[in-house]
Structures are given as structure tokens and as C-alpha cells.
Structure 1
């Protein structure tokens, strides 16, 4: 992906965040960054106490620097932004910070995730670096990511992304119970893998790490899953985590109960949602099917 001049300015503003932090007495380090067409990602390592400084102050400083770069581009007669944008204002007066308020580069809010668990940092850095590739794959496999709304399955309505043909196959629910002993858990996971190898589609929200291990193992072997999610799809949706390529390969169907809206701020699934999604998975797996042929 090739950045525009403004994109390079934004990338440089992110690179210089540690300089801004140092001027405020805070030691910061940018571990990864990616500038996309509609947003930016970066991983920030806070290496000293922030005391009176907040993350919002750092973001505000970044936005100020980026908006200055935008203002420079909008007032540059040789800039593509100058040629395409706000001609009626440019013909009468130079762009000023007052005018820029209506054309700020970023929205008011931002999305931040605090990494606290082992392995999260590496996964986040990999995700940030992988964004351009994911964008390319979505553009060139658009039909794999268009939500189908209000699909009735086992008496309930779902929004769906992925391979709808998986609904025509036998299904096995995956639900590792908390009361299972180590031996029971291992035997149950083996049974799920055996069912997947004989052609059953595994159905589950795959919430526990045991369930995700079964899912990931079976997907790597080329088998299929139907996964229930707890957050609604945007029109421009995507597959979560490492499911993108499996979704494009036709191995995955993602389902969200149609009554659940999309929530940008959603983080952890609640216990009530876990119970509901597992019950839905049971109903989907138990739905009467006729084996074709």
C-alpha cells in the first residue's frame, strides 16, 4: 500500500509521539503503526508513570499534529486535496483552523485497548502490521463479507457472513463444560475432532480456550465451523481474528442473532450472552436435517 503525502505526514506524526511524550515528562515508545485509508492503528508502550497525563492528551496531541498537516495540504495549490476539496472556500480565503473544524481529519472519539494478558502484545502487533493485507483481501473477495440479514435458522433470526452452504450439512455442537475433569475435557475435544473429520460442521460461539483450540485445529485440517458472535455486523463487516482466510476458503459461517446491534465499544462477552449463544448453538445443531444423497 502506497501512502499519499498526507498519509506520510500522519505516519510521521505517529512516529513522533515519543517526542511529544518526552516534552511532557513521559517515556513512550511506538511498537507498531499502520496508516489505512479510513483510520490508523498503532501500538503504544507506556514506559513510565503518566502521573497527571492521560491517554486522551496523547491522542489530542496526535490529532493536532495531523490536522496541521491537513491544513497545509488544503492550502497547497499543488496538492490533490486542494484541487478536489472546498473550492468555494479556497477561492475566497485561505483555510484556517476555524474552517478546519468542519473538515477535521479524525473523529472526536478513539478506540483504545489495554493489553494485560500474556500473548496479547504479539497478537496486536501482528494485527496492526496485517491490516493492509486484510484490506486487500476484503476488496478482492467482497462477496465473502457482505452480511445476509434475517436468515431463519432453527426458529431464530440471524445475520450471516460466510458460507451459507454449511447449513446443509450435519452439525455438531461444541460446548466444553466447566465441570469437566481433565480427562473428560480431552475425550470430549477428541470426539469433536472425530466428528469434524467425518464431515460434521462444528457449531459454537467458541468462547472458552478449549473450544477455540478445537475450532482452530479443525480449521487447519480443512474442516468447517459455524460460529455464533455476540456483536452485530456493520455493512462493511469482516471476519474476526484469524478467521479471514478460512472465511474466504468457504470453511466458516458467522452468525449473529439479528436482534443484537453492532457496538463499537463492545469488549467482553457477558455470562448471560454466553448462556444465550450456547443455547442457540444447541438448537442449530439439533435442527432436523436430511442427508442429501
Structure 2
């Protein structure tokens, strides 16, 4: 995955790491129980993964696992680097993968690769709430149960409350729960350097499991969306026009909705795309990014 080029991966920081299961490997566990009391029961491989996660501090005394969640096909880790590391964080993630692979081979006799290559990482910046990250990781099984038991939630949602207002929406409303959201907005007065740095931030966020929030009005913003979509980004797209009762996205937006990568929220503003309408949509994108 894309790393954040301006970030020091040896320095003191908190990271949300996601490791994805390789396709041919058995699942790490099974969802049991019904929402809201759903839990993941570890498989034999899941137990191996948990054992090694708990031992990760032995790699370096500065590595501290604050929280983890082992899902059937991926693993979430909240890692606190408490002091400068002697090696890049990625080296320790590789060590974890190797030890899990070795232990699994011993108990199964299979020399299969457990995880996909590389990993997703999100950096916990000062503006992010640590409690929000804890809750997001802890509630992964519950969100999975909702997706299975209530597929209707992933289509049309009426009266979606954001702040003191309600909106019509279509798509994956769980994207609102993602703690790593970035608003995409490009101003005419932005310098080339500001645009370059913002682009790197948005592509990094999109390629590492975050969510990009925007009306994507200008040609430059649409270009960012196209590039981010190609690296697997997820989106909350603010639209101005009200959603008709039988509204259904078409083309690329329908495909993204089917993949769970898009939530479309209507600001409910009929009429042409005027400057006040654009300001209202960008204000809503900011509210979602900062407040949800």
C-alpha cells in the first residue's frame, strides 16, 4: 500500500494497521450470535494470530499493541510506538507476519502465505480521537453482523441524521463510522505546493482504508476522485439535488455502492449549482469529516 512519504515510520506515533487474509488461507474465525451481541470465534489460525500479536512487544520495547480485532478475513491492530524505533515500522509488521506463517505451518503442515502482501496503515493525528479508534476497532464484529442481517441498510436510507439535520442517502452508511475521513476541497488560491501536499494526503488516506468526503465539484477535485478510486478508496459523495423516491445511482457510482465503497448524501438543494449551494455542500462535507 502507499505509505505517507512525509512521515517518519521510526518515530513516536500511534497507527491503525490492517492486515488482509491471503485468498487461499482458511478464515481466521467465524461470526457467531446476532446483532448487537455478535462476536468472532477464533479458528485455529486465528488463535495463532492472536498469540503472536500478544508477543509483538518482544520485537522492540517501544512497540505497544493498544487494541486488536481478528476478523474472518482481516486483522486490525492499534499500535503505539512509544519511542523511536531502530527500524521502519514495516519491518516489524513483516516480522509479525513471518512468525504467524511459521507457527501456522507447524500446526497445519501447509506452507501457505497467511496474509496478502504489504499492509494498510492510518496515522493517528492529533485531530483524531483515540476513543473513536478504539470503538471503531472494537465494533467490527457488530458492523459485520449488521451487513449480514440487514442488507437493506446498504441501499436507500431516509432521514439520516447528521448534527441537527436529516438527509436522504444511498449506499454504505457505515462509512460514516470510519475515523479516518478527509475532506477533499481545492481552492483557487491554493499554491502548487499546497495542492501537491493535499493530493499526497488524500491518496494516502484513500489507499489505506480511509474515506474521502466531498461534493467533488471542480475538475481538480474530480481528478483526485478518479485517482483515489483507482487505488481502492472509499467515498462519501455530497450531492445537491434532492433524492427522488425511486432514486438509484448509475454507472460507476452504482458499482461503488455494490462494492460498499460509496455513500451518497443529498443536501436537498433543488436548482442550479450556484456558489451558495457549493458552499453548503462543502460545509456538510466538513461537518461529516470533523464531527462523525
Normalised by the size of structure 1, how large is the TM-score?
A: 0.44
Point out the structure with the larger helix share: 1
Give TM-score scaled by structure 2 length.
Answer: 0.44
Task: Choose 1 or 2 for highest CA Rg.
Answer: 1
The structure in which a higher percent of residues are strand is 2
